């Protein structure tokens, strides 16, 4: 899970329901994708915030986050199920989003979700590039990437496997380790990414105490992998 809500911390989430058992992932027909085909210049936005990238290769860098609403993956342990629906969120233009991003000093924008590849993101990438941003994507790889991204972080999910094409495009493979059997699952995706793709193993937050020692031992034996921790959760930033 990329940076995001620590319920009750971020102002946008203070009034969000904590009971999310009734929320179901989107069902998206191939014919309906991308969801913003009629108007690629407009996107449903769950939240925007300025923080530090908490995970992976760019950990610690200041960045403007754009969290789009809508996810059709449906991970059972997802702690941001509020992002699964698209209704009830502001539709913002890509120019609005680029203006919001440009109000901060960093020139790194991270597009996340939900699952942002539900949308044609080419207009958003163009608007951010025009303002001098590098544009990064956080995705499960569930759909083709539409947009000119400078960096793609692929975090595959068991509930909807990533497309091979997205595996080949990824600059960074970040696998969340929930169980000891997940190491072989991680290796199955390491075989699908490019030789230059960076490889990260990250303990699932609620299982960090159990999984971190296993991950450290695994990386010591398989040093092509690196450790990713959710830094933002340790320092209590969004």
Question: Is 155 labeled as ligand-binding?
Answer: yes
Question: Is 191 labeled as ligand-binding?
Answer: no
Question: Is 156 labeled as ligand-binding?
Answer: yes
Q: Which stretch binds ligand SF4 (CB under 6 A): 36-44, 72-80, 208-216, 230-238?
A: 72-80
Extract the tokens encoding 98.
């680029």
The 120-149 site mask, x for binding ligand SF4 (CB under 6 A), equals: --------------------x---------
Helix (H, G, I), strand (E, B) or coil at 66: strand
Nearer to ligand SF4, 48 or 127 (CB): 48
Q: Which stretch binds ligand SF4 (CB under 6 A): 35-43, 107-115, 124-132, 205-213?
A: 107-115
Question: Is 114 labeled as ligand-binding?
Answer: yes
Using rule CB under 6 A, residue 80 touches ligand SF4: yes
When binding is defined by CB under 6 A, the residue of 54, 56, 70, 114 that contacts ligand SF4 is 114
Question: Is 174 labeled as ligand-binding?
Answer: no
Using rule CB under 6 A, residue 71 touches ligand SF4: yes
When binding is defined by CB under 6 A, the residue of 113, 116, 147, 162 that contacts ligand SF4 is 113
Residue 85 in contact with residue 35, Cβ under 8 Å? no
Q: How many residues bind ligand SF4 (CB under 6 A)?
A: 13
Helices (H), 11-135: 94-102, 122-130
Long-range contacts of 212-220 (CB under 8 A, 24+ apart): 214/177, 214/180, 214/183, 215/177, 218/183
Nearer to ligand SF4, 52 or 71 (CB): 71
DSSP string, 132-179: T-EEEEEE---S---S--SEEEE--BTTBPPPHHHHHH-SEEEEEE-S
Whole-Å CA distances, 228 to 28, 47, 49, 113, 149: 31, 24, 21, 19, 22
Q: Residue 154 contacts by C-beta under 8 Å, 6 or more apart in sequence? A: 139, 140, 141, 162, 166, 167, 169, 170, 172, 173, 174, 189, 193
Annotated binding site for [4Fe-4S] cluster: 71, 75, 78
Q: Which residues bind ligand SF4 (CB under 6 A)?
A: 1, 71, 73-75, 78, 80, 83, 113-115, 140, 157
Annotated binding site: 52-54, 67, 71, 75, 77-79, 112, 114, 155-157, 238
């Amino acid at each position: 899970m990329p940076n995001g809500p620590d319920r009750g911390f971020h102002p946008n989430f203070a009034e969000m329901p904590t009971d999310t058992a009734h929320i179901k992932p989107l069902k998206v027909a191939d014919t309906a994708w991308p969801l913003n085909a009629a108007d690629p210049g407009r996107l449903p936005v769950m939240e925007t915030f300025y923080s530090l990238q908490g995970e992976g290769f760019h950990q610690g860098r200041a960045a403007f986050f754009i969290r789009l609403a809508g996810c059709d993956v449906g991970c059972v342990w997802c702690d941001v199920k509020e992002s699964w629906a698209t209704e009830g969120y502001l539709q913002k233009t890509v120019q609005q989003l680029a203006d919001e991003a440009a109000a901060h000093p960093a020139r790194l924008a991270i597009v996340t979700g939900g699952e942002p590849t539900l949308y044609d993101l080419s207009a958003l990438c163009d608007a951010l590039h025009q303002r001098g941003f590098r544009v990064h994507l956080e995705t499960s790889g569930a759909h083709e990437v539409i947009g000119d991204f400078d960096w793609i972080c692929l975090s595959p999910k068991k509930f909807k496997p990533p497309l091979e094409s997205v595996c080949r495009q990824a600059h960074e493979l970040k696998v969340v380790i929930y169980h000891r059997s997940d190491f072989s699952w991680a290796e199955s995706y390491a075989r699908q990414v490019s030789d230059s793709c960076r490889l990260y193993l990250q303990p699932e937050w609620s299982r960090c105490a159990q999984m971190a020692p296993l991950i450290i031992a695994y990386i010591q034996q398989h040093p092509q992998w690196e450790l990713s921790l959710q830094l933002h959760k340790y320092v209590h930033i969004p």
